[in-house]
Structure 1
Amino acid sequence: MKKLYRNATLIDAKAPQDLLVEEGKFTAIAPHIEADAAETIDLGGRLVVPPYVDPHLHLDYVYTARGEGATNGTGTLFEGIQRWSETKAGASSEEIKRRARQAVREEVRAGVQYIRTHADVTDPSLTALKALLELREELKDIVTIQIVSFPQEGMYAYPHGAELVEEGLRLGADCVGGIPHYELAREFGEKSVHKAVELAVKYDKLIDLHCDETDDDQSRFVELLTALAYMEGIGERTTASHTCSLGSVNNAYAFRMMANFRRAGLNFISCPTENIYLEGRQDSYPKRRGLTRVKELLAAGVNVCFAQDSIEDPWYPLGNGNMMNILDHGIHICQMMSFAEIDHALDLITTNGARTLHIEDTYGLAPGKDASFLVLDAPSPFEAIRQRAGVLRSVRRGEELFTRVPAQTRSKYDLLA
C-alpha cells in the first residue's frame, strides 16, 4: 500500500514537504505530491528526521549494576572493568538476551532504529557474542544491530584474547573491537591496534576501538589507529570511540592530529553522559570534563556522533536509550549552543551516526532510500532540542513501529491549557 505523509517539516527544506512511501522506500519527497489510492497522513508541520542511531552500546552489560559484587565504588572506568570481570561468568545466554531485549525496547520506544553494540569476547565460551548474534536476527524487523567483537579485558591482557576476537568475527560479528589503553603495556596496546586493522582487512570488517578512554595525555593510540587505517585505505570504515585523552593533550598535538583524522576519514564516537561521569576522577580542581574535542573535531571536518554507551551497568548507574537526552547533555558539556550549532545538532544522533555505521546507502530522507523516519513533537530543530521533544511516530521501511498522541494539559486557566 502507498502512504502519503503530508506537511512534514524537514531540517533543510524551506517549505513543508510531502513524503510518498511505496514498498518500504521513499519514492518521492516534494512540496506537494498527488498520489491516487494512497493512505494519507497529515503530520501537521511537525519535524521529520531520520531514525536515531545509537552507535555505541553494551547490550550484554545492561541492568547489571545492582548485581552482587557489581557495585563500582570509585566510579572509575577501570574499577568498572574489574567488577564486570568478577561477575560476568554467571550470565546465561537467555539472561543476556532477556536484559538486552528490555534495553532494545527502551531504545526503540525512544526512536532508535540502529544500534552498534559491543559484545565482550574475553570469555572462552563466547556466551555474550552468541546471544547477541541470535538477538540481532530475532529483532531485525524493528532494529538494525551491528555487533563488535570486543575484548573487554584486552586482546593480550586476557589469555588468548586476540584469538577470541578473531573467532567472534568468524561467527558473524560486524566489527573488530579493541581496548589498547587497557593492555598491560604500551607495546601491547600498539600490538592490539595492529591486530585490529589486520583482522579488519582479513575479514572485510569495520573497526571500532575503545581508544584512549582515559585522562592520561600520554595515551595516544588513536594516532597509530589513524595512520594504519589511512595506509590501508579503510579510514571511513574505522571508528575511534571515546578518545577522552584528546581532551587533555596539548593543542599543538591535538590540531596536528585533526588534520590526519580528516585525511584518513576516521569516525569518532563520544559518550557524553558516560565520560563526564567516569573521567576526571583523579582531578581535584579544576576538574576536566573528560570528553573528546567534539566541537573542534567537527570544525575540522571530522565525523563525530554521540552514543548512550551504558544502561545501568558497572560503569554507569543510569541511562535509558533516549538519544535526545544524550544530545542535550552533549551540546551543553561541549559548549555547542550557538543557534547554528543547535539547528544542526540532531546530526549528532542521526546522520553522523549512520555514517559511522557505514549505512548511508540505505539511510536518510531521500527517494530510493528506506522509508525509515521519526516524527518529533516539535515544529523545528531548535524547538525539538529546546523542548527535548518526544517521538510521536516511528516508521521503519514503511511500517509504523509505534505512534503516540501528543501530551495535553487540562487546566481551568487558559494560559496553562
Structure 2
Amino acid sequence: MQIINARLRHQAALHSLTMVDGRFTAIQAQSGPLAPQSGQYDAQGLLACAPFIEPHIHLDAALTAGEPNWNQSGTLFEGIERWAERKPLLSEADIRRRVHETLELLIGQGVQHVRTHADISDPSLVGLKTLCALRDELKEKIHLQVVAFPQEGLLSYEGGLALMEEAIEVGADVIGGIPHFEYTRELGVASMQQVIALAVKHDKLVDVHCDETDDGQSRFLEVLAYETLKAGLGPRVTASHTTAMHSYDNAYCSKLFRLLKRADLNFIACPTESIHLQGRFDSYPKRRGVTRVKELDKAGLNVCLGQDSIFDPWYSLGNGKLLRTLDFGLHICQMMGHQDFSRALDFITDHSARTLQIADYGIAVGNPGNLILLDGEDDYSVLRRQGDVRLSVRQGQIIAQRPAAPLLTPPWLSA
C-alpha cells in the first residue's frame, strides 16, 4: 500500500508512505502535491499519525450502565456498588458481545492498542478469561493488554491474592491493585508490596488504580514509587488516576516529585471520569479532581490520557473518541498555551506507547505499517477541529475508513 500527499507531525513537507508485507519500507518527502496513481491512497494533505492508544479502560464493564440499576449519585463508590449488582449477570457471551461492540467503536476512532482492566474480584474470573481469549483472537485487528484488577481489594477481598495468582496463570499481561480501597492503610501498603513482588516473580507489567480519591491523606503513590524504585522496574510500572494529588499540599508534592522522578514510573489520567467522580464532598470551592498532569509532564514524567469507561456504572456517557478525552484534559489541566497544543497528540500516542511498552511504535521505516489519518494538518488543527479519524491502517491494510463530512449550507443562505 502507498499513501501520498500526507503530512507528518512536526514536518512541513508532504510525504509519501510505502508499506510492503505489513511494514513501512519507504517514507519520502515530496517537493509538492502528487497526482494519485492507481493503487495509491491520496491523503489530500491530512495528518498521518501513529495510531491512538487507549491506555486505561474497563471493557468487561462497558455498555452496562443502568443494568440492573443506575448510579443515581454519580459517585465512585456507588458505581462500585452498581457493578457488584451487575457481576452476577456476567457470562462469556455477554462479555464477548459488549467487548466486540466497544472495540468496533474504538477502532473506528483510530485506536489500535488498548489496555483493559478486568475485575478479578470474582471467583469465576469470567471477565479476565474472556478478555484474554479475545486478546488472542483479535490480535491481527487490535492489540490488547489485559490487567488483572482486584476491584474490591487484593488483600481485603476474601481469596483476593489467590485469585491474582490464578489470573496470572490464565494469562494476564499486567498486575493491578487498588490500595486506597483496602480496609486499612497497612493493608494498602502490603498490597503494593505484593503487587511489585508478583511483577518481579512473573515478569509482568504493573498498573495500579492509585489514590483515586479526594482524600489528601491517601498517599499510596509514595509506596508504589518506592517499591518500584527498590525493584528497579521503572517504566514497567504505571500509576493510574492518582487524583488525591489534587489535594496534596505543595510542600508534600515537592518531596514526592523527587521520588517519582527517581522511580521513573508512568501516569495515566482519565479527565472525563475524574472531573465528575471527584470533588463530590465539596460545596465551593470545588476541586477539579484530576491529578497534576501539567506538573508531572513539566517534571519530565511520562503522562498519558485514557477514557476509563464507556457507558458503565461509573460513567454513563462516552463515544470512544480519544480526541474528546484529550480536549477535556487540556482544558481541565489548564494546558492551553500554544506550546501545549503543538504536541497535544503525544498524550494519546507516544506517551501511551511508553506506558504499554509497545515496541516498534510510530511511523518509521521498518516499523509495522500502522497509522491513522486525522482531519487537520498538525496537532493544533486536529485538536481544534475535533474531526473524525478518516483512515486507519494496520499492517498495511485498511481496517476503518470514513469519508469527509459534507459542508452544510445554513438554511438562511440556501435560498
What TM-score results when the alignment is normalised by the length of structure 2? 0.96
Q: Distance in 1 between matches of 2:86 and 2:71?
A: 12
Counterpart in 1 of 2:174?
175
For 1:259, give the aligned amino acid. R
Deviations 1:285-314 (A, max 9, x none): 000010000000000000000001011111
| Secondary structure in structure 2 of the residue aligned to 1:145 | strand
Alignment counterpart, residue 15 of structure 2, candidates 14, 17, 21: 17
Distance 1:38 1:27, change over 3 A: farther
Q: Distance in 1 between matches of 2:199 and 2:265?
A: 15
Matches within 5 A, 1:14-413: 14-32=12-30, 39-69=39-69, 71-359=70-358, 361-411=359-409
Q: Distance in 1 between matches of 2:413 and 2:407?
A: 11
- CA positional deviation for 1:414: 12
For 1:241, give the aligned amino acid. S
Q: Distance in 2 between matches of 1:83 and 1:124?
A: 18
Q: Distance in 2 between matches of 1:32 and 1:196?
A: 50
Q: Distance in 2 between matches of 1:59 and 1:9?
A: 33
Native 8 Å contact 1:51 1:113 kept in 2: yes
| Secondary structure in structure 2 of the residue aligned to 1:195 | helix
Q: Distance in 2 between matches of 1:224 and 1:351?
A: 27
Native 8 Å contact 1:259 1:300 kept in 2: no
Q: Distance in 1 between matches of 2:408 and 2:224?
A: 56
Q: How many pairs does the alignment contain?
A: 411
| Secondary structure in structure 2 of the residue aligned to 1:409 | coil
| Secondary structure in structure 2 of the residue aligned to 1:298 | helix
For 1:265, give the aligned amino acid. D
Q: Distance in 2 between matches of 1:395 and 1:347?
A: 19
Q: Distance in 1 between matches of 2:120 and 2:240?
A: 18
Native 8 Å contact 1:274 1:308 kept in 2: yes
For 1:9, give the aligned amino acid. R
Native 8 Å contact 2:107 2:400 kept in 1: no
Q: Distance in 2 between matches of 1:184 and 1:262?
A: 29
Distance 1:28 1:414, change over 3 A: farther
| Secondary structure in structure 2 of the residue aligned to 1:117 | strand
For 1:48, give the aligned amino acid. A
Distance 1:414 1:67, change over 3 A: closer
- CA positional deviation for 1:76: 1.4
Native 8 Å contact 2:10 2:378 kept in 1: no
- CA positional deviation for 1:413: 8.8
Deviates more, 1:227-236 or 1:237-246: 227-236
Q: Distance in 2 between matches of 1:255 and 1:302?
A: 14
Q: Distance in 1 between matches of 2:10 and 2:408?
A: 35
Native 8 Å contact 1:51 1:374 kept in 2: yes
Q: Distance in 2 between matches of 1:259 and 1:321?
A: 35
Distance 1:78 1:411, change over 3 A: closer
Distance 1:406 1:158, change over 3 A: same
Q: Distance in 2 between matches of 1:293 and 1:327?
A: 15
Q: Distance in 1 between matches of 2:164 and 2:254?
A: 33
Native 8 Å contact 2:115 2:146 kept in 1: yes
Q: Any unmatched runs of 5+ in structure 2?
A: none
For 2:185, give the aligned amino acid. R
Q: Distance in 1 between matches of 2:318 and 2:16?
A: 35
Distance 1:340 1:151, change over 3 A: same
- CA positional deviation for 1:331: 0.6
| Secondary structure in structure 1 of the residue aligned to 2:390 | strand
Native 8 Å contact 1:383 1:389 kept in 2: no
- CA positional deviation for 1:380: 2.1
| Secondary structure in structure 2 of the residue aligned to 1:391 | coil
For 1:28, give the aligned amino acid. A
- CA positional deviation for 1:74: 2.0
Native 8 Å contact 1:4 1:38 kept in 2: no
Distance 1:12 1:97, change over 3 A: same
| Secondary structure in structure 2 of the residue aligned to 1:9 | strand
| Secondary structure in structure 1 of the residue aligned to 2:196 | helix
| Secondary structure in structure 2 of the residue aligned to 1:319 | coil
Q: Indicate the percent of aligned positions where both proteins have the same amino acid.
A: 47
Structure 1 residue ranges, 4+ long, deviating more than 4 angstroms after superposition: 412-416
Q: Distance in 2 between matches of 1:234 and 1:260?
A: 14
Q: Distance in 2 between matches of 1:412 and 1:325?
A: 26
Native 8 Å contact 2:115 2:356 kept in 1: yes
What TM-score results when the alignment is normalised by the length of structure 1? 0.95
Deviates more, 1:284-293 or 1:365-374: 365-374
- CA positional deviation for 1:78: 1.4
Q: Distance in 2 between matches of 1:153 and 1:365?
A: 40
